[in-house]
Amino acid sequence: MKKTLKAVTLVAGLTLLSSPVSSFAATYGTTAVQYHNQWVKKGSFWTYYNANGALQKGWLSLNNKWYFFDANGYMKTGWVSVSGKWYYFDANGVMKTGWVKVSTQWYFFDASGVMKTGWVKSGSDWYYMNANGTMKTGWLQTGGKWYYLNPTSGKMALGWNNINGKTYYFYNTGIMAVNTTIEGKQIGADGAAVDPTLNKIKEVAAGYGVTVEYDAENDVYDLFQGDEYIASVVADGIVFADAAHEELFKKLALALGAPVTETELNDLIAQAQASETLDVDTGSVYVAADETGFEIVWGTAYSGE
């Protein structure tokens, strides 16, 4: 009788102990932890649970930033194609807009994050993006017209530009001018300005191992021997040269039409060097000369003085 009582008591005790444990397991053991408006990292991937506690998929706007999650709920970084459009997300998953440099290439994304191709206006400047989104530089032919994009910044060229030793003009649309005359300069079928002044300067400079660079902005031709500047020419009648290059100076002035003979120019230089003011004016030609250099002015430039 005592054994029976003990057995009943033991069974009853086990029942009382096991009921709460199994109830706890049923209530909590099979239910996942719920997250709301919360980032959760799973392995190497970030996920986000929205206000309903659901795993976020697709687009998410959070604190004025856009994110994108794939079908598994994993936050995307880098390049992502969505509905046929390309987007770029940084290492934090934030969608990028505007200019973005990826590796060594520049790309442009509009305000909605879409990668742009073709012509793009940024600020007051125009750029051209290739079919793969990379920024175009150098020469561009599109629509049967030629354009030039700065080799460093990618900006579309406007006005006069010196490119690889030749001078070109680009209208305010960016289109290269051909077969026309602009500001007195004849432009050929290849877009390069036919510059008689430059040709004459090059003919003279060649005999001295000198190179010529045209400064389109200031309409000045600068001459260099190696990296050393030695002279300048203004097309409408001014020649400058340092004292070490007197012969080059005289030949440039005479080749470009200074209204004097070589003998007369020699005399004018001597008179200028001997005068207190270090210059002489004949009424049509002005010459300045000292121990540092020479200057001669004539023609339109003289008339405008």
Of residues 219 and 116, which shows the higher confidence score?
Answer: 116
**Burial letters for 264-284: b for 16+ Cβ neighbours within 10 Å, e otherwise?**
ebeebbeebbeeeeebbeeee
User: So what's the pLDDT on residue 85?
Assistant: 98
Residue 191 CA to its chain's centroid (Å): 23
User: So what's the pLDDT on residue 8?
Assistant: 41
Element holding 89 (H helix, E strand): strand 85-89
Model confidence pLDDT, tens digit, residues 251-295: 999 999 999 999 999 999 999 999 999 999 999 999 999 989 999
Model confidence pLDDT, tens digit, residues 46-85: 999 999 999 999 999 999 999 999 999 999 999 999 999 9
Instruction: Tell me which amino acid residue 246 is.
Output: E
User: So what's the pLDDT on residue 7?
Assistant: 46
Indicate if the pLDDT at residue 163 is higher than 50.
Answer: yes
Mean residue pLDDT across the chain = 88
User: So what's the pLDDT on residue 32?
Assistant: 56
Of residues 27 and 233, which shows the higher confidence score?
Answer: 233
Model confidence pLDDT, tens digit, residues 12-27: 443 333 333 333 333 4
Indicate if the pLDDT at residue 39 is higher than 70.
Answer: yes
Instruction: Tell me which amino acid residue 205 is.
Output: A
Indicate if the pLDDT at residue 133 is higher than 90.
Answer: yes
Indicate if the pLDDT at residue 2 is higher than 50.
Answer: no
The burial of 141, by beta-carbon neighbours within 10 Å (0-12 exposed, 13-18 middle, 19 or more buried), is given as exposed
Query: Percent of the chain scored above 90 by pLDDT?
Result: 70
User: So what's the pLDDT on residue 217?
Assistant: 80
- State how far the Cα of 269 lies from the Cα of 243, in Å rounded to an integer: 11
- State how far the Cα of 52 lies from the Cα of 164, in Å rounded to an integer: 63
Of residues 30 and 265, which shows the higher confidence score?
Answer: 265
* CA 52 vs CA 56, 58, 74, 199: distances in Å: 10, 15, 18, 77
- State how far the Cα of 106 lies from the Cα of 100, in Å rounded to an integer: 6
Of residues 28 and 219, which shows the higher confidence score?
Answer: 219
What's the whole-number mean pLDDT along residues 26-52?
A: 81
Q: Which residues contact 138 (CB under 8 A, 6 or more apart)?
A: 148, 149, 151
What's the whole-number mean pLDDT along residues 79-94?
A: 98
User: So what's the pLDDT on residue 223?
Assistant: 92
